[in-house]
């Protein structure tokens, strides 16, 4: 790469192809330079200025043979910046190149100054030096993040910005003094910016607290759900604090019972099983009772068949849940919960699943269903 200063400033990027043999004037493909001119250089040109700087940033500048990851070019119309891609198969080594207009800096006296005369590049910020102050702009969302006045003496003039890429220190030098810019906790809000961009995996990398991770996972789960990627959504929901009831309703509303089971299994692996299973039972029982109430309403008589079919599916899901997770359930708590919802059929099924035949026999005796009581007793003996 080369930098040219003058009336127009240009940034050149080129990669000539290398032949395995040297062609001559009699070769079939023409001149010896045909391979070079077949791959012309790409040129990005901006109006020039007497002050122009080209900066690079490397996250591992203290390591030998490390390469920079980003660049920033100070021009009269703005800072041209982008990511460096040294593995590019084309002549363009700059990915996502863009021109950022400079923010205005208000001097202590006089009109706003828009063009800085020096800059530095950090991992996440452009640092611009104006006459008597320093302005920081985030290079992820191009928003100004801070502005700091310099404690200059009378007739003292700032001359430029300098950086030590190895120690990651940044300095403002004047004709009389030297000021250090201390970069502290620069990536504090980076997770939030990537979250707004929808780059959830990167946002998770920069999330530092449990609350931040939870925020990202919740947003990622909702995004997956809206895209119809229900199994991925289930895995994310299982890792965040979105309530069980909310997640279950979302999956049931779209008929994604397999995704709901996947969510439940993942949730059980990460939390106290007794808490989740009890809430699961409470949810299913409440939903079944709700459907019973809706079916009984005259206002929906035209849709009774669909509602009854949905109730049957829910009841089957609950029975399967009892059979699958019986070892994670507290029998007394679950039995009281079922009876509290008036679901005698479910109470009898659960008692049978956990081997509580005496309770089933007792129930049929209280109902004076002698034949059923004897039948359960016989099955208990066989069991």
Looking at residue 284, what is its pLDDT? 82
Contact 235, 262 (CB under 8 A): yes
Looking at residue 21, what is its pLDDT? 46
> How far apart (Å, rounded) are the C-alpha atoms in residues 330 and 78?
67
Sheet arrangement for strand 118-121:
118-121, 125-129, 133-138, 144-149
> How far apart (Å, rounded) are the C-alpha atoms in residues 201 and 220?
9
Show the DSSP H helices in the chain as ranges: 34-37, 190-196, 200-206, 210-226, 230-237, 244-253, 257-270, 273-296, 304-324, 331-340, 344-353, 357-366, 370-382
HSE-up of 98 (CA within 13 Å, CB side)?
9
pLDDT digits (tens, 9 = 90+) for 256-287: 888 888 888 788 777 665 666 777 788 888 88
And the tokens for 155? 């007739």
> How far apart (Å, rounded) are the C-alpha atoms in residues 92 and 85?
8
Q: Give the residues of the chain that fall short of pLDDT 50.
A: 1-22, 383
For 242-311, what is the HEC assignment? Answer: CCHHHHHHHHHHCCCHHHHHHHHHHHHHHCCHHHHHHHHHHHHHHHHHHHHHHHHCHHHHHHHHHHHHHH
Backbone angle region of 140, left / alpha / beta, with phi > 0 → left and psi within -120 to 50 → alpha: alpha
Contact 172, 158 (CB under 8 A): yes
Strand partners, 164: 169
* This model's pTM is above 0.85: no
pLDDT digits (tens, 9 = 90+) for 170-217: 999 999 999 998 888 889 999 999 999 999 999 999 999 999 999 999
């Amino acid at each position: 790469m080369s930098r040219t200063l003058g009336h127009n400033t240009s940034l050149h990027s080129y990669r000539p192809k290398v032949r395995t043999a040297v062609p001559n004037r009699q070769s079939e493909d023409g001149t010896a330079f045909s391979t070079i001119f077949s791959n012309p250089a790409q040129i990005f040109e901006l109006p020039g200025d007497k002050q122009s700087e080209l900066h690079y940033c490397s996250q591992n500048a203290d390591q030998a043979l490390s390469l920079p990851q980003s660049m920033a070019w100070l021009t009269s119309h703005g800072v041209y910046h982008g990511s460096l891609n040294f593995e590019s198969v084309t002549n363009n080594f700059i990915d996502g190149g863009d021109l950022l207009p400079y923010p205005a800096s208000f001097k202590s006296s006089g009109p706003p100054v828009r063009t800085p005369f020096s800059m530095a590049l950090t991992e996440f910020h452009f640092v611009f030096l104006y006459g008597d102050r320093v302005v920081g702009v985030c290079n992820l969302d191009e928003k100004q993040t801070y502005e700091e006045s310099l404690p200059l003496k009378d007739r003292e003039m700032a001359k430029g910005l300098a950086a030590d890429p190895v120690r990651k220190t940044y300095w403002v030098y004047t004709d009389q003094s030297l000021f250090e810019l201390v970069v502290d906790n620069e990536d504090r809000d980076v997770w939030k910016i990537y979250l707004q961009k929808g780059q959830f995996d990167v946002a998770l990398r920069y999330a530092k607290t449990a609350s931040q991770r939870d925020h990202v996972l919740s947003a990622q789960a909702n995004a997956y759900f809206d895209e119809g990627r229900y199994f991925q959504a289930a895995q994310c929901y299982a890792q965040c604090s979105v309530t069980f009831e909310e997640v279950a309703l979302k999956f049931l509303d779209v008929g994604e019972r397999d995704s709901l089971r996947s969510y439940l299994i993942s949730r059980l692996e990460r939390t106290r099983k007794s808490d989740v299973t009890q809430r699961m039972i409470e949810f299913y029982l409440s939903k079944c009772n709700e459907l019973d109430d809706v079916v009984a309403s005259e206002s929906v008589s035209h849709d009774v068949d669909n509602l009854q079919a949905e109730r049957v599916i829910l009841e089957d899901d609950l029975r399967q849940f009892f059979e699958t997770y019986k070892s994670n359930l507290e029998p007394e708590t679950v039995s009281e919960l079922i009876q509290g919802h008036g679901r005698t059929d479910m109470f009898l099924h659960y008692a049978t699943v956990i081997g509580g035949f005496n309770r089933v026999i007792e129930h049929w005796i209280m109902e004076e269903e002698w034949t059923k009581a004897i039948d359960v007793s016989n099955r208990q003996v066989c069991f």
